[in-house]
Structure 1
Amino acid sequence: MATKLYNPFLDFKFDNKTCFLTGETLQSEDEQIQVFPMWMMRAFDLEEKPFKMLDESFSTYKKLQLPCSTRAAAAVAAVDGLVEHAVEKGYEAVRELEQEVLFQWIGKILYGVVFNEIQAGIRHAVMTGEELNFSQALVQKFRNLHAMLQSMVIPMEFEHKNPFTIEVFHVDNAEDTFLYRDEINTLIFSLRMKDFGLIATLQDNGTNAIYHEEALALTKGEKLHPVQFEEIGAKYFYTAYLFNRLPEYTYMEVGDKVFVEPMPLNDWTMKPIFDNWQAKTYGQVLENFWKPWGYTLFEIIKDPENPMSFIKDEEGNFKTVEGLPR
């Protein structure tokens, strides 16, 4: 790991006296920023809405905060402003944002959730006298996410390919739609609001997009019904679970810049990068994503070789959805 980069995972420093992004010592524990941007919380009245934590307890969107120095807060605000401005304009403007800007914006939210989960875990460990049990594989993923997030405050270049992929879809959402999902173990994120939907895989070096080439090709240029976006979301969340590599990256300092290079995902085992697709497990994921429309697992996998789809018709063409509520 490059010395320019701050690594809180070396000594598990997740207190409120240290900037989450830079490691700078803060003057006060009041130096905090929101995990979810204020403009988003206000637009969708999220501040007091419940946010479910991994231990099944509930916080609120407003209570999720990050200790942050003035310098880092300014960098976060600059990124947030670009995204807010694009969101106000709608799908086309969001689609035109640079992948790195979207990654920084999404990555800060996802890492913010991770940070709050770790703090909750530390508090629980102190209360119960138990040791904090943390998977080394997760530490590696979170450490890499945190290192790449520092591109907001340190000049950084992702060499050859981005470690992340963010897909932006045109979606015919109901006006008050706000649907956020994440899975921090697999570093996947989706968000549906206004007239668009986002799906981000933050550490797969673009492999999920290759896996789902057919769905992406079918939906390209189309305005999706929400049920179609949720189907793509289910596919992505399922394959993020099937992804069986732990990506590694090299960080090299040259002058004032850090170069990040993904290591090859192929390993000596010669195993495929994704585990085998199981229709029933995918059906269970899709049933959860399709809850608003009430489709059951039995309906979804009636024909296990051809699970129910609103994206593709029997001839393999893009399917138009009619008569289904948004």
Structure 2
Amino acid sequence: MNTAIYQPFKSFDFKNQLCFLSGESPVEPSRVLPEWLIKMANLTGDEQIKLLDESIRTYQSLTVPTSPQVYANFISPLENKIAAAFEKGYAGLANLEDVDLFNWIGKLMYSFLYIEMQGAIRLNQLSGDGMNMSQGLMHKFGNLHTMLQGIYKPVVFEEFTPWSIIIVPLAETNTAFSFRDEINTLTFSLKFKDFGIIACLQDNGTNKRYHHEILESINDTKLSEQQFEEIAARFFYSAYLFNRLPEYNIMPAHGTIYIDAMPLKGTQNKALFDVWAHKTYAQVLENFWKPWGHTLFEIIKDPSAPLSYFNDPHLPTHLRFLENEG
């Protein structure tokens, strides 16, 4: 039995010839943004998105090469499960297994990454073997891809969770569909209908613990869109401050991939996050609050207390965040 794990970052395989997920052939193009989501969000598919190479693409033109068998037997059932949850709104998402949401968001982000890689190679920003790409990023993206093998084969996370995922109810029940992602930090947010999702895909749950005070104060409170974007901004900023590259022991055996996390603390006697700076956070927040027209000056008028839509914002007040267990 071939127990080897398909590792596209070893061969830097982004040529549309092998399945983006399994490495199998033949392949057919499958949409990055699924048809069910386009229809549910009342979109046409002609909406545009700008990629990192400055090219403009429509939602429906974004595709990745996929094995028909993998798509029919594994990706399609996952899409159906997520679609059913989205249809029910927050109640459906709240009953969804985190691992299903992780696989779906991870597949979405990795698909975008696959397309971005092609653009970078085309513009000679990356060599065909990835030699001028950060080794840390290649390592991180490769680990995510290995974890996503769980879509079509058994993957066991040994007594740890590689992600931070939060799902919150929104006060507005007809929120328009929108999402944002940050590939370098593998951070993602999405709002739609009566729910919002925020995910950090490879932090071993650390960002969720970092923001535990505001999350505990929210509980099941329905958030305004401004409040949701404020929480999302905090996660995107803290993911940037997160200064560890998680390491994993990966062991394939008898058709299953076992993944064990190494302690994040390691041998470094320093905080897991760099120092939180309100001014930098305010710049992030300004971008997330663009629809409401808040200026940076308004947000940071009081340098010690940035503008917040929460009565008690629970912003980080300490400069260190250490975990003994990693």
TM-score when normalising by structure 2: 0.90
Match of 1:83 in 2: 82
Q: What's the secondary structure of 2:263's corresponding residue?
A: coil
Match of 2:269 in 1: 270
| Alignment partners' CA distance in 1, 2:278 and 2:160 | 31
1:125-204 aligned at under 5 Å gives the runs 125=124, 133-173=132-172, 175=174, 177-204=176-203
Which runs of 5 or more structure 1 residues have no equivalent in the other structure? 317-326
| Stretch of structure 1 that moved more, 52-61 or 194-203 | 52-61
Q: CA deviation at 1:46?
A: 4.9
| Alignment partners' CA distance in 2, 1:310 and 1:131 | 43
For the pair 1:21 / 2:18, whether they are aligned, the reply is no
1:245-289 CA-partner distances (Å, limit 9, x unpaired): 111111112322211111111132312100000111000001111
| Alignment partners' CA distance in 2, 1:104 and 1:16 | 21
1:117-140 CA-partner distances (Å, limit 9, x unpaired): 001112222999998631111101
Match of 2:56 in 1: 58
| Stretch of structure 1 that moved more, 63-72 or 142-151 | 63-72
Taking only the aligned residue pairs, the percentage that are identical comes to 46
Match of 1:307 in 2: 306
Match of 1:112 in 2: 111
Match of 1:227 in 2: 226
Which runs of 5 or more structure 2 residues have no equivalent in the other structure? 316-326
| Stretch of structure 1 that moved more, 232-241 or 69-78 | 69-78
| Alignment partners' CA distance in 1, 2:297 and 2:283 | 10
| Alignment partners' CA distance in 2, 1:296 and 1:305 | 17
The one-letter amino acid paired with 2:194 is: D
For the pair 1:4 / 2:1, whether they are aligned, the reply is no
Match of 1:99 in 2: 98
| Alignment partners' CA distance in 2, 1:4 and 1:206 | 28
Match of 2:67 in 1: 69
1:10-66 CA-partner distances (Å, limit 9, x unpaired): 11111112111111121xxx7111111111122331511111111222111111111
Q: What's the secondary structure of 1:224's corresponding residue?
A: coil
Say if 1:125 and 1:132, in contact at 8 Å, map to a contact too: no
Q: What's the secondary structure of 1:10's corresponding residue?
A: helix
1:149-185 CA-partner distances (Å, limit 9, x unpaired): 0101111111111111211010123625111100000
| Alignment partners' CA distance in 2, 1:140 and 1:185 | 11
Say if 1:79 and 1:101, in contact at 8 Å, map to a contact too: yes
Q: 1:127 to 1:303 in 2, by over 3 A?
A: closer
Match of 1:257 in 2: 256
Q: C-alpha root-mean-square deviation of aligned residues, in Å?
A: 2.2
| Alignment partners' CA distance in 1, 2:87 and 2:208 | 27
Match of 2:296 in 1: 297
Q: What's the secondary structure of 2:61's corresponding residue?
A: coil
Q: 1:41 aligns with which of 24, 38, 41?
A: 38
| Alignment partners' CA distance in 2, 1:14 and 1:127 | 12
Q: 1:231 to 1:127 in 2, by over 3 A?
A: closer
Segments of 4+ in structure 1 off by > 6 A?
Answer: 126-132
Say if 1:173 and 1:193, in contact at 8 Å, map to a contact too: no
Q: CA deviation at 1:85?
A: 0.4
| Alignment partners' CA distance in 1, 2:125 and 2:213 | 49
TM-score when normalising by structure 1: 0.90
| Alignment partners' CA distance in 1, 2:314 and 2:135 | 46
| Alignment partners' CA distance in 2, 1:151 and 1:315 | 36
| Alignment partners' CA distance in 1, 2:164 and 2:249 | 19
Say if 2:126 and 2:133, in contact at 8 Å, map to a contact too: no
| Alignment partners' CA distance in 1, 2:58 and 2:226 | 27
Say if 1:190 and 1:200, in contact at 8 Å, map to a contact too: yes
| Alignment partners' CA distance in 1, 2:38 and 2:127 | 34
Q: 1:142 to 1:42 in 2, by over 3 A?
A: same
| Alignment partners' CA distance in 1, 2:304 and 2:183 | 30
